[in-house]
Amino acid sequence: MTDLVLLTGISGFLGGHVALALLKAGYAVRGSVRTLDKADKVRATLAKAGADVSRLDFVALDLLDDKGWDAAMAGVRFLQHTASPFVLEIPKDPNELIRPAVDGTRRAIEAALRAQVERVVLTSSIAAIQYGHEDYARVLTEADWTNVESLKTGAYAKSKTLAEKAAWELMDKAGRHDDLAVINPAAILGPLLDEDPGTSAALVSRLLDGKLPAVPKLGMSIVDVRDVAALHVDAMTNPAAAGQRCIASEGTYRMADLARAMKPAFPDRRIPTAELPNVVVRVAALFDRDIAGNIHELGALKRLDGHRGSERLGRPLITAADSAIATGKSLIEHRLV
């Protein structure tokens, strides 16, 4: 009998890649979508990517509704919980992000515990690790947690931190700490499976669209979606993943670093490599919500210890340059930029 995995958020950028990796590894996948009218599109996308979709079915689940969770867990060996709200424009009310993230995680894990699912793999984020610290001269590890009380910690980081902490609390209360494995990805780039670019791809899109004369001195950690998906599959059965967090990050880069790496691959695109002074970026943030949402990244680079990811996979992670180039080619192929 083929092992069945319940995968929440299958219609998302990461969820699609996790589904593809699971199906190629021989698992049966039950993907959750908010409404079943998305199912045919997801099935067609995965089939086009080379997956055997005969082992794929769908269930409608809502992060804010108890309906259907127990039925969805029937026969499930592993839960992959990738679903979580992620928006480019932070809402005025932080609870619009925090509540679905925390409540959805609670619903998924409580249902998994009732069903005696063997292991839960949770998609968290480096956002649950890297914010609200006083000292960024040191390298951050899985032992670090974002300070949700800090005024510098935004709603998204709070949502990921509180959701992950809720997951650990639930598993600990059930005496099943080691049956939870958490993946903490950096900004996720890589090839698109369909016209949904995810959220981090907006960075590459802005480098390619020719509208920027120069780039902000923003730094971010980056990982390829294919590596994140592989880590999710590995975490279901790898003893090293039991009861552990795992930072998924190939490295930390400034936008100018990525721009320089991408430029040779897109000779017909005007990719800016000069950097804007911080004062100009802060003024621009008054008029551009995308920039305003990332203004806290100006300044010191947040460096993360990403050795655990490559150690788990037994190989180096895909480079940020290759990942950014793959993202750019996909955006162009899908006529998104």
Average pLDDT over residues 146-175: 94
Class level of CATH domain 4-333: alpha beta
Nearest-angstrom CA–CA distance, 100 and 184: 18
pLDDT at 288 over 90: no
All residues at 6 or more sequence positions from 307 whose CB lies less than 8 Å from its CB, including other chains: none
What φ, ψ does residue 58 adopt, rounded to 5°?
A: -135, 155
Mean pLDDT of the chain: 91
pLDDT of residue 183: 98
Q: How confident is the model at residue 289 (pLDDT cuts 50, 70, 90)?
A: low
Residue type, 36: L
The more confidently predicted of residues 152 and 239 is: 239
Q: How confident is the model at residue 202 (pLDDT cuts 50, 70, 90)?
A: confident
27-31, 202-206, 331-335: segment of lowest average pLDDT = 202-206
User: How confident is the model over 222-247, as pLDDT tens digits?
Assistant: 999 999 999 999 999 999 999 999 99
Domain boundaries, the chain: 4-333
Are 45 and 33 in contact, with CB atoms under 8 Å apart? no
pLDDT of residue 320: 97
Name the residue among 36, 42, 124, 109 with its Cα closest to residue 79. Answer: 109
pTM > 0.85:
yes
Q: How confident is the model at residue 296 (pLDDT cuts 50, 70, 90)?
A: low
User: How confident is the model over 108-140, as pLDDT tens digits?
Assistant: 999 999 999 999 999 999 999 999 998 888 999
Q: How confident is the model at residue 328 (pLDDT cuts 50, 70, 90)?
A: very high
- Triad 332, 334, 337: Cα angle to 5°: 45
